[in-house]
Amino acid sequence: MEIGLISVDRWTQGSQAYFLTHLHSDCTQGLSSTWARGLLFCSRLTAKLLPFKFPALNLSLLRVLEVGYWNSFSLISPSSREKMVVEVMAIDAHHCPGAVMLLFRGEFGCLLYTGDFRWEKSSDRAKTGTTTLIKALKDNVVDILYLDNTFCNPSFDFPPRQVAAQQVVDIIASHPNHDIIIGIDTLGKEELLLHISRVLNIKIWVWPERLHTMHLLGFHDIFTTNTSLTRVRAVPRYSFSIETLEGLNTMRPTIGIMPSGLPWVVKPHKGDDNLFGSLLTARYNRRKWSANDGAKIDKLNDNLGSVERFHKYIYSVPYSDHLCFIEIEEFIKLVQPTNIKGIVSSSSCYVDPLYYFGRLCAGNQASLRLHRRPERKVGGERVVSVQTKSNIGISNSTMANRRRKSSAKLDFLVVHGRKVNALRRVQRGAKIAQSECSG
């Protein structure tokens, strides 16, 4: 596929069509209310939320992708000036409201861009997504899988979100005389908040902009901006801090809960170095839950083994909207792509997915050569820091669509790296182009 055709979650000039997987800020870097560079494809729910985030956006540029259906559109080849047809299907990513993965096919082959997603085996939505994807692929081979590799490391093995949500409820219930502060983003974790409200039969406070979003999503009776109606408050993640909680505790007993797959702070409460030493240490105990058997999720009494107390006022709960290592492996086995590229290309815990999963590719590719640093011990465990080669390419012949006998070849889908810190990825995106770009 030639340069100058399609960009995913990237908003620089030079493409004819632009795709937005979901509305988190790391996907909209460069998108603004004055956007006019081309057609913008997204899910129906994302299209509903976009005007609130970008009030003056030209809505005539929006093209809605109905989840589970093929959508066709024509582009002009920059080299031949001839029309080419591209098909795309949006599939529910179960990450945040409106989030989708994108399956592309055309003369160039078949590409699957997952965006951020999570499919637990116990989730009905994930089962529907799996069925949709399998039917859509039929005999097609995914030439390149662009994968959410946020937690592509064996150290990350957290429970299904249903289990983590109940852990949050258990913490709240065990502090009946405390106010509760929960750190969340501007979009996402709605199912967690709904679970808390339903089980404890309470309303939840959110800030005014978040309340408007909740109303757009159809939640009108559960959330409030009146602090006198509830002791549970969902606050912006950026305002969640030790200093804030210490200040609140001078007025009323208050605890904070941070639901995230990432560790929140670097030092655990009471100096217990076994709780957290490195992003590469084994943080979670997989035997506390069952990722394969949804029936076991209801057995949650005293199931707080993966909850960590980093401070006397703060609990960290592994509620993640990204899939963990085992789930990544299961997804790759399902898709059986010819090649894999991670959409997170740089982070403190980054390992290229080919290192662990290259053997699962349809082409049985060898794992990447790695620059390995000396082993070191953290919290009693051996840890190896790994650095992968950047800008790894794949030849046209490897990516030829096996279903077609034509001579059409796929060059590259370039994933521009997203820099990641412990709390926020600040840049991401993909762009169809002829050669690799560093980022």
Domains 6-154+323-377+386-433 and 161-317 share a fold: no
Q: Report the distance separating Cα 254 and Cα 313, nearest Å.
A: 7
pLDDT (average), residues 74-81: 84
Q: In the prediction, which pLDDT does 307 show?
A: 82
Give mean pLDDT, residues 318-337: 95
CATH code assigned to 6-154+323-377+386-433:
3.60.15.10
pLDDT the model gives residue 36: 93
* pLDDT value of position 265: 43
370-385: average pLDDT: 35
> Going by CATH, does the domain composed of 161-317 fall within 3.40.50.12650?
yes
Per-residue pLDDT reduced to its tens digit, 179-217: 999 999 999 999 999 999 999 999 999 999 999 999 999
pLDDT in tens, 230-278: 999 999 999 999 999 999 999 999 999 999 987 654 334 444 333 332 2
Q: What average pLDDT does this structure show over 27-46?
A: 95
b vs e for 274-292, b when ≥16 Cβ sit within 10 Å of the residue's Cβ?
ebbbbbbbbbbeeebbbbe
pLDDT digits (tens, 9 = 90+) for 98-144: 999 999 998 888 999 999 999 999 899 999 999 999 999 998 999 99
pLDDT score, position 263: 65
7 has pLDDT over 70: yes
**What's the pTM?**
0.78
* Percent residues over pLDDT 90 in the chain: 60
Token match 């913008």: residue?
40
Query: What is the predicted pLDDT for the residue at 264?
Result: 52
pLDDT for the residue numbered 108: 82
**Three-class secondary structure assignment of 248-309:** HCCCCCEEEEEECCCCCCCCCHHHCCCCCCCCCCCCCCHHHCCCCCHHHHHCCCCCCCCCEE
Across all residues in the chain, what is the average pLDDT?
77
Domain ranges of the chain: 6-154+323-377+386-433, 161-317
Q: Check residue 82 and give its pLDDT.
A: 85
Mean pLDDT of 363-382: 40
The more confident residue out of 431 and 287 is 431
Bigger pLDDT: 379 or 178?
Answer: 178
The answer, yes or no, to whether residue 10 has pLDDT greater than 70, is: yes
Whole-angstrom Cα distance, residue 419 to residue 341? 15
Q: How many CB atoms lie within 10 A of CB 96?
A: 23
Who has greater pLDDT, 423 or 115? 115
